[in-house]
Structure 1
Amino acid sequence: MNLHRWARVALMGGVLVSLSACGSGIASGDSGLFRRGGGAATIPSEDVLARRERAEAQRAALERAEGTKTNRSSFFDLFRNGTDPNTTVEVNKYLWVAAQDVLNFLPIESVDPFTGVIVTGFGTPPGGGRAYRATIYVQDPALDARSLKVALQSRGGGAVDAGTVRAVEDAILTRARQLRIQDSNL
């Protein structure tokens, strides 16, 4: 029994030693220094310095974007739910539905309601002779012209006249306002 206990302690000690060896690197404080000539002096490698500066710049940009300081991660962070359950989608539902209503003659290729992007394939409007495709970007939850970006492309000529794009945007905004009025009359 005593031998069994010593074997478990030795095994746990070996596991701890091997895990502590995994902690070397930039995150654990090792600066990526290497020794020249076997002496005690250390000289930083230029590549390591460049990587460290990039990592610090990325961390600073992430902190600015999130508005919070990032904490060091640990092994136990793998088992925590890091997502915020209160995150909401920042897309105006009236603009989203109106864009699909107005451009219903275009086949939808991809839709992402979390980013607010609708990408369509080529289609010909009723009574028209040119085929168009559109990319619609609803970027704000407000029912406002600034929340809607539309990009049109024709099959033969490439870019479309700015007046045509503005007419499509106006039609989407008008339909979105109609949908909102219908919703408020319930």
Structure 2
Amino acid sequence: MFGLKGKITVMLLGMTALAACGGGGSGFGGGGGSGPGGIRDQQISQESRQRLIESGALPDPNHDSIFDLFDNNDDPNVTVEVNRYIWNATLEILDFMPIEAADPFSGVIVYGYGTPPGGGRAYRATVYVTDPALDARSLRVALQGRGGGAVSRETARAVEDAILTRARQLRIAEGNL
């Protein structure tokens, strides 16, 4: 339909129209362009620029790409949402089992098979700390014996009670009561 000259003409007209849209006219903001009194002519102090960057109004020059915005660079001591006393008590009480995986951010500890002191049967466990509160509702323990499926509810309850008792002892010993 169009020849080479026609396509070039259409592209030049489109680029000219786009260039005209971004000028320093007096649009809705009134004088917000690059002319006298415009935002680009005003010098922003370094403190103001830093406040604008922290509030998100200006892009952070330290970010290399858009994907850096999704990185969790917060202090892990602040962002962890599990109870540290329950977490540490779990590690102490179930220290006879090897740890296969642990994620303090989600509160999951997966143990391999281990035989408790004085016991004859090997167990493995998955512990889930669900809340930052030192509360029985914050702890879930799933035990499995080597020979078969899940163990009795009483055995799992005894392990939960031992972990919670030790967590309370750790909290009292630290003096945060």
Q: How does 1:26-65 map to 2 (within 5 A)?
A: none
Percentage of identical aligned residues: 64
- Number of the residue aligned with 1:166: 157
- Number of the residue aligned with 2:49: none
Structure-1 separation of matches of 2:101 and 2:69: 29
Cα deviation, 1:98-146, whole Å, max 9, x if unaligned, reads 0010001001001101100000000000110100000000010000000
Q: 2:130 aligns with which of 139, 144, 148?
A: 139
TM-score (norm 2): 0.59
Which residue identity lines up with residue 140 of structure 1 in the other structure? D
Could you say what secondary structure the match of 1:122 adopts? Answer: coil
Structure-2 separation of matches of 1:183 and 1:114: 23
Distance change in 2, residues 1:151/1:80 (3 Å): closer
Q: How does 1:117-136 map to 2 (within 5 A)?
A: 117-136=108-127
Structure-1 separation of matches of 2:94 and 2:100: 13
Distance change in 2, residues 1:162/1:80 (3 Å): closer
**Structure 2, gaps ≥5 residues long:** 1-7, 16-63
TM-score (norm 1): 0.56
- Number of the residue aligned with 1:45: none
Which residue identity lines up with residue 142 of structure 1 in the other structure? A
Alignment length (residue pairs): 115
Q: Does 1:176 align with 2:154?
A: no
Could you say what secondary structure the match of 1:153 adopts? Answer: strand
RMSD: 2.8
Could you say what secondary structure the match of 1:130 adopts? Answer: coil
Which residue identity lines up with residue 81 of structure 1 in the other structure? L
Q: Does 1:115 align with 2:106?
A: yes
Which residue identity lines up with residue 107 of structure 1 in the other structure? P
Q: 1:81 aligns with which of 69, 83, 86?
A: 69
- Number of the residue aligned with 1:104: 95
Structure-2 separation of matches of 1:79 and 1:128: 51
**Structure 1, gaps ≥5 residues long:** 1-9, 18-75
Displacement after TM superposition at 1:81 (Å): 2.2
Superposition misfits of 4+ residues, deviation over 6 angstroms: none
Larger radius of gyration: 2
Structure-2 separation of matches of 1:137 and 1:80: 30
Structure-1 separation of matches of 2:112 and 2:67: 42
